[in-house]
Amino acid sequence: MSINSEGMITAPETSSSISLPTPSKTSKRVAYYYDQDVGNYTYYLGHPMKPHRIRMAHNLIVNYGLADEVEEDAPDPEGDGKRQLNDLEIFSNGNGSAPENKFFKNSLSGSRSKSMQVFRPHRATKAEMTRFHTDEYIEFLENVTPELAEEMTGGGVRCLIGEDCPAFDGLFEFCSISAGGSLGAAERLNSGAADIAINWAGGLHHAKKTEASGFCYVNDIVLGILELLRIHPRVLYIDVDVHHGDGVEEAFYTTDRVMTCSFHRFGEFFPGTGDVRDIGMKRGKNYAVNVPLRDGITDESYQSIFKPVIQHIMDWFRPGAVVLQMGADSLSGDKLGGFNLTLDGHGECTSFVKSFGVPVMMLGGGGYTTKNVARAWTNETAVMCGRTLSEDLPYNQYMEYYGPRYKLEVLANNTDDHNPTEYLDKIRTQVIDNLRNLPHAPSAQMSHVPGQPISRMIGLTKESDLKDPDDELDDRVKKYILSKNLNGTYAQNASDDEDVPMNGDSDQDDAAYSLPGRSRRQGGTGPRRRLPARIVNGKRSTGNGNGHGNDESEDEDDDPCGAKGNRKKKRSFFNKSSTGVQGIVNKKLNGIATPYGYGNSNGTTTVTIGNGGVVEFWKDSGGISRGESPMSMA
């Protein structure tokens, strides 16, 4: 036995030598994201979009052994297949310490075996969703219910338009699962712990910034691409769904950092966009690639245009990462599609993109014949893992769906191909000419982005544990107020003998301390209010209306506010002389109390402060300030 240059074990003494794949350091590290709750949701009875198809695909993936760990020291507890989801239980020995084994180390750096790592993604938060969508739209998704949908959408003309996107129970949770898986996959690629990340619950490419469209509510693809752009200067998006990826193209239509390439059915077909002449605008001109196709396209015709276009894009654009949307509605026999692709033709797109050696995030999308969706996504998961699956399906929970043949196959039908060679050549030539107009691969100035905390990466903390920044700011403000008010000490109010919390929330506290003396400064006539009691040096001091406090202690030496106390001078609104304020009396003139001066015959009050100090004139009849005090005329 010997190992040849390709890393294969061979037996040179016989012509029929066996070749076995051996794990190597160049093996692709695959991260697979799945949340078992995703199959619990339903749009409504009879709706073509069925989230249950994701659970069917996962069950078939598990029973094919793609979720099994090749390494001998991997855990083998109960769970989906032989491989438990990477959660908190795996990362501790019960006492908080991390187990010292190969599996634990691979969970951080990424396994290089032929199998893939399985992760349960965190649920996306509202703050993460609003990286693309508006705050109002995400708030709407969180609060809408089937009963309130008619009222909240204005009769179906806002946010949820038409019957394609109904308001169903658990809508926001479903969106958080889809978006969380794509964000987790992007973060995994950014950290360098995986070469390929898979999220079959994602790929909802029709959702817009402020509205749902085409069965899609939150555009997880855009969120994932935005996360990838934190590390990679250029990202390529490839869409093989039978429908045009209008939501993603619209989001990046004016930027050169993201190139969108969509292969779709064009004509009188939803959403009606994606003409070959739609190439982007402004800075993003020529960075939107659309390949409109006709009904009945076969594997051979599809690959004759898919491979040349993708090859030219990779040569000219040179992306740092690829987002691959593998909508299964382009398969033969789909309820809503019109293409005639087999399982092999659909999976060949995955194999070709993988061959470039660029980090790939692979997502789901459309697909409305559930048994074919499960077959296709299982086969493409195996392609990314470098595994070849048996044609005979293993026993699984949904075995009756795959009858009567029970094979891993999607066969072509007898639909006519309306894509002649001349038409495909014309489309291919026009697309490649547009790509040649690109001056060069665009670059972007990048800066270091701090990575995820180690506690977050190993599952000790979750995103849900983090508080909203606004809430955190409120907490800090409250703590500051408490510290200024002697750590929230309760004092006895001297005026009405009620407990007043010293945390800034009391109306009495606010009125007394917010703007001290404002009414008196503006000539107000209201009674002087006694301030709430304060605790000073362990003793209670009550406000007496003149800015000084009366201590309970009868000892004048211990009185902090007494004559012998070491207290600060109170600031005065006026510059007082050594003789103090002259003429401070309360006199009633024309029915108006004037606390500071003497009335004149012309209806004004003159106030003289000090020896030749400030002179103010107050009008007894006329304007009144917001504090209901006479307005100054000086």
The set of catalytic residues is 206
CB 511 within 8 A of CB 532: no
Residue 266 in tokens: 């064009």
CA 103 – CA 470 distance, rounded (Å): 39
Please identify which residue in the block is written with the tokens 């007496």. 544
CA 255 – CA 234 distance, rounded (Å): 10
Most distant CA atoms of the chain, gap in Å: 129
The two beta strands, 9-10 and 2-3, are: antiparallel
CA 79 – CA 165 distance, rounded (Å): 34
CA 255 – CA 242 distance, rounded (Å): 25
Hey, how many other C-beta atoms are within 10 angstroms of the C-beta on 20? 7
CA 362 – CA 253 distance, rounded (Å): 21
Task: Please list the residues that pair with 632 across neighbouring strands.
Answer: 618
- In 3D space, the residue among 150, 257, 162 whose CA is nearest the CA of residue 211 turns out to be 162
CA dihedral 599, 602, 603, 604 (to 10 degrees): -60
CA 237 – CA 322 distance, rounded (Å): 6
Give the DSSP H or E segment for 59.
Answer: helix 52-63
Question: Any alpha helices (H) in 253-369, and if so which ranges?
Answer: 299-317, 343-354
- In 3D space, the residue among 187, 182, 14, 31 whose CA is nearest the CA of residue 107 turns out to be 31
* Alpha carbons within 13 A on the beta-carbon side of 298: 12
CA 173 – CA 100 distance, rounded (Å): 36
274 sits in the region (left: phi over 0; alpha: psi -120 to 50; else beta) called: left
